[in-house]
Amino acid sequence: MEPRAGRARLLALVSERIAADLRTAAFEHLLQLSLDYFGGKRTGDLVARIGSETDRISVFLSLHARTSPPTC
């Protein structure tokens, strides 16, 4: 495998892992909330938003981590 391809694959794996960890933490937090919190909210919307936002974070990380910081 070409070094650049290996680096891109590693960055993709790391960003997916971070997104999965964020998603898990958010769902665990939702489970700790009182039932009153969910009274005025559509639970499906909350779950969909968590998934959508963590996917956006994953894409951001994978795209922006590929750009190397400038060297002095």
pTM of the model: 0.69
SS3 content of the chain, % helix, strand, coil (to 5): 80, 0, 20
Residue 71 clears pLDDT 70, i.e. is over it: no
Interval 8-55: pLDDT, tens:
788 888 888 888 899 999 989 989 988 888 887 787 888 898 889 988
Q: Is 17 left (phi over 0), alpha (psi -120 to 50) or beta?
A: alpha
Q: Which of 42, 47, 44, 43 is nearest to 27 (CA)?
A: 47
57/64: higher pLDDT: 57
